[in-house]
């Protein structure tokens, strides 16, 4: 028996997701409760919010925080991960801290940042970065440990500059690990950003969810959530997948005809 | 141009003993010795890859450009042959010329893993030459090639040595026959810890005879 591998075929998405919407519509129609709006209600809310510009404003604010936090977390986490993977001493120094941070609930970091630095943008982004850096560092550390020493020796003999070594020797080998960190990172970061916004910002999807929660506006909650899921999927399809395809082309080269 | 004053090299137990030797321009040294005796270790020490051998033990290397042909090609698998040569300092034209010189004209846009073992090794040799080396280090350049490919590569290396009389070479090999073709000097590494048992300069006319006489005393075939 062949187990399921990789992505299921595309048609499964076209059958399962619409069926789910139909099921949701039926349930909502049967219940007739304001706590479960119909898909049409949600779509209606989405169109209204988007026409007024509200949706775009808050989506944009959230996306900006996600991007800034993501870039910072990846840069810091990658640097720490490489150093930890290459140096026993650094690993011994940082590993206990990493264990501590990995097990620290996101909510605690967010609260502490807000308490210590106030309800400001920097505190919000820092809270997200602190939550994500340990994951990136751990993943990249694995990659840095598996760097091929034979290519290291080659780079030493041929006097590669630091920049050449990073760009030409390390990054291609770390690429699968960086992609794993990116995938996991994006999924984690946007969820944390929503909590950060809910607790202490006055813009963003998280803030809107908070407002909708106050008045039990479930249609708005679903509208904003679906809009953001769509954005995240778009990033996956338009940026991550093409990037991954392009950068792993060398892995399955066709044999030379010679 | 290069002076070795290696005091020894440990992997828990001594692998390499004292190695004292000088290498001059135009020296074509074949480094012979039984398997696992430390020939590659010595080559790495000379190349500066061995952190446990202090820099002061290899005098003059800093001033030399070194080309090292490793046992594996060690080209960057994600870069084309052309890009691999460009990375070590060859210009566009030089990269093309060098690939032509090693019989890989037209292969510049190939990735290393698209090539056969013999072709990849020739591409790696082209990279050695791209740095315009004063010292060429070859680690078993003919290992695991079929006899025809090995013969071609020997002829290629012999040709390169002829055209660049100032370049020095140190070539690790098991095969006395390689030495007969390429060497004008012979190192034999043996013992525990390993030392250079011979350091013979082979006079041109008696080169093959002298070498064969030496080799008759040894049984290198088993190693």
- Convert the pLDDT of each residue in B119-139 to its tens digit: 999 999 999 999 999 999 999
Q: Say which of A169, A255, A256 has its CB closest to residue B76.
A: A169
Tens digit of each residue's pLDDT (9 = 90 or more) over B172-186: 988 878 887 888 888
Output the pLDDT for position B222. Answer: 42
Closest chain A C-alpha to B152 CA, distance in angstroms: 16
Taking an 8 Å cut-off on Cβ atoms, the answer to whether B78 and A156 are in contact is: no
Q: Give the pLDDT confidence of B110-122 residue by residue, as tens digits.
A: 999 999 999 999 9
Which residues on chain A are in Cβ contact (under 8 Å) with B74? 150-151, 153-154
- Look up the CATH number of the domain holding residue A134: 1.10.3720.10
Q: What is the pLDDT of residue B13?
A: 65
Q: What is the pLDDT of residue B215?
A: 62
Q: Which residues of B touch A174 (CB under 8 A)?
A: none
- Does B74 touch chain A if contact means CB atoms closer than 8 Å? yes
Report the interhelical angle of A54-86 vs A171-200 (nearest 10°). Answer: 140
List the end-to-end C-alpha distance of chain A, in Å, as a whole number.
38
Q: Which domain, by its residues, includes A94?
A: 38-248
pLDDT at B205 over 50: no
pLDDT at A212: 92
- Contact status of B142 with chain A (Cβ, < 8 Å): no
The Cα–Cα gap between B173 and B120 comes to 19
- Start-to-end Cα distance in chain B: 32
Rounded (10°) angle between helices B117-130 and B147-163: 10
Interface check B131 vs A, CB under 8 A: yes
pLDDT tens per residue, range B73-106: 999 999 999 999 999 989 999 999 999 999 999 9
Mean pLDDT by 10 residues, chain A (258 residues): 66 90 94 90 92 93 94 94 92 93 92 94 94 94 94 94 93 92 87 92 92 92 92 88 81 55
d(CA B83, CA B104): 14
Q: Is residue A189 part of a domain?
A: yes
Q: How confident is the model at residue B53 (pLDDT cuts 50, 70, 90)?
A: confident
The reply to whether A98 falls in a domain is yes
pLDDT for res B12 = 65
pLDDT given at position B203: 59
Pairing of strands B66-69, B135-139: parallel
Nearest to B68 among A151, A157, A254 (CB): A157
pLDDT at B155 over 70: yes
Q: What pLDDT, on a 0 to 100 scale, did the predictor assign at position A257?
A: 43
Instruction: Show the tokens assigned to B65.
Output: 């450009």
Amino acid B209: pLDDT: 58
User: Mutate which of B44, B50, B67, B76 to test chain A, going by most A C-beta atoms within 10 A?
Assistant: B76
In a domain, A22, yes or no: no
Mean pLDDT calculated for residue range B16-20? 83
- Whether the ω angle into residue B109 lies within 30 degrees of 0, i.e. cis, is no
- Residue among B77, B127, B131 whose CB faces A250 most closely: B77
Give the chain A residue whose CA is nearest to the CA of B120.
Answer: A256
| Residue bearing the bigger pLDDT, A104 or B10 | A104
* Residue A24 belongs to some domain of the structure: no
In chain B, which residues have their Cβ closer than 8 Å to the Cβ of A255?
A: 114
Give pTM, 2 decimals: 0.78
Is the CB of B49 less than 8 angstroms away from the CB of A157? yes
Asked: is B2-217 a CATH 3.40.50.300 domain? The reply is: yes
Strand partners, B171: B30, B138
Which chain B residues are Cβ-neighbours of A87 within 8 angstroms? none
The shortest CB-CB distance from B87 to any of A168, A255, A256 is to: A168
B47 CB within 8 Å of a chain A CB: yes
Arithmetic mean of pLDDT over chain B: 85
* B170, B43 Cβ separation under 8 angstroms: yes
Chain A / chain B CB contacts < 8 angstroms: 50
For residues B75 and B124, the answer to whether their CB atoms sit within 8 Å is: yes
Q: Which of B90, B85, B88 is nearest to B104 (CA)?
A: B85
B110 in contact with A, Cβ within 8 Å: yes
Here the ipTM equals: 0.85
Tell me if B48 and A156 make a contact (CB, 8 A cut-off): yes
B111 vs A253: CB contact, 8 Å cut-off?
Answer: yes
Rounded Cα distance between A178 and A246, Å, is: 14
CA A74 to chain centre: 10
Q: What is the DSSP string of A181-215?
A: HHHHHHHHHHHHHHHHHHHH-SSSHHHHHHHHHHT
More confident residue, B202 or A172: A172
What three-state secondary structure class fits B5?
A: strand
pLDDT at A246: 80
User: Are B45 and B36 a contacting pair, CB within 8 Å?
Assistant: no
Q: Does B214 touch chain A (CB under 8 A)?
A: no
How distant is the Cα of A7 from the closest Cα of chain B, in angstroms? 26
The total of structural domains in chain A comes to 1
- Residues on A contacting B at a C-beta cutoff of 8 Å: 150-151, 153-154, 156-158, 160, 164, 168-169, 172, 250, 253-256, 258
Do B131 and A158 lie within an 8 Å CB cutoff? yes
């Amino acid at each position: 028996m062949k187990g399921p591998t990789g992505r299921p075929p595309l048609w499964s998405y076209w059958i399962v997701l619409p069926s789910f919407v139909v099921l949701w519509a039926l349930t909502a129609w049967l219940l007739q409760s304001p706590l479960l709006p119909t898909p049409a209600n949600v779509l209606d809310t989405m169109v209204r919010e988007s026409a007024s510009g509200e949706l775009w404003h808050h989506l944009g604010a959230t996306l900006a925080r996600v991007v800034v936090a993501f870039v910072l977390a990846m840069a810091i986490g990658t640097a720490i991960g490489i150093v930890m993977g290459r140096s026993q001493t650094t690993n011994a120094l940082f590993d206990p801290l990493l264990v501590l941070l990995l097990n620290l609930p996101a909510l605690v970091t967010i609260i502490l940042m807000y308490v210590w630095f106030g309800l400001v943008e920097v505190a919000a982004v820092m809270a997200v970065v602190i939550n994500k850096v340990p994951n990136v560092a751990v993943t990249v550390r694995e990659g840095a440990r598996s760097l091929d020493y034979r290519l290291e020796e080659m780079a030493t003999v041929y006097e590669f500059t630091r920049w050449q070594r990073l760009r030409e020797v390390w990054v291609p080998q770390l690429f699968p690990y960086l992609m794993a960190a990116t995938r996991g990172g994006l999924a984690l970061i946007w969820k944390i950003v929503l909590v950060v916004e809910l607790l202490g910002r006055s813009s963003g999807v998280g803030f809107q969810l908070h407002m909708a929660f106050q008045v039990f506006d479930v249609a708005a909650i679903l509208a904003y959530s679906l809009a953001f899921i769509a954005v995240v999927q778009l990033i996956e399809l338009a940026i991550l997948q093409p990037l991954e395809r392009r950068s792993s082309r060398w892995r399955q080269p066709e044999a030379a005809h010679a | 141009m290069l002076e070795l004053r290696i005091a020894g090299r440990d992997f828990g137990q001594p692998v390499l003993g004292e190695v004292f030797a000088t290498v001059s321009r135009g020296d074509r040294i074949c480094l012979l010795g039984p398997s696992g005796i430390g020939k590659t270790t010595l080559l790495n020490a000379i190349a500066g890859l061995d952190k446990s051998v202090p820099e002061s033990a290899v005098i003059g290397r800093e001033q030399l450009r070194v080309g090292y042909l490793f046992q594996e090609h060690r080209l960057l698998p994600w870069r084309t042959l052309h890009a691999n040569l460009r990375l070590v300092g060859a210009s566009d034209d030089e990269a093309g010329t060098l690939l032509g010189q090693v019989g890989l004209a037209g292969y510049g846009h190939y990735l290393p893993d698209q090539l056969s073992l013999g072709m990849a090794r020739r591409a790696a040799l082209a990279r050695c030459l791209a740095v315009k080396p004063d010292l060429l280090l070859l680690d078993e350049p003919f290992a695991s090639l079929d006899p025809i490919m090995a013969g071609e590569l020997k002829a290629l290396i012999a040709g390169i040595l002829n055209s660049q009389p100032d370049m020095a070479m140190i070539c690790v090999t098991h095969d006395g026959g390689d030495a007969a073709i390429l060497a004008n000097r012979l190192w034999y590494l043996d013992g525990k810890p390993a030392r250079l048992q011979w350091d013979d300069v082979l006079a041109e006319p008696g080169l093959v005879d002298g070498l064969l006489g030496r080799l008759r005393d040894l049984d290198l075939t088993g190693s």
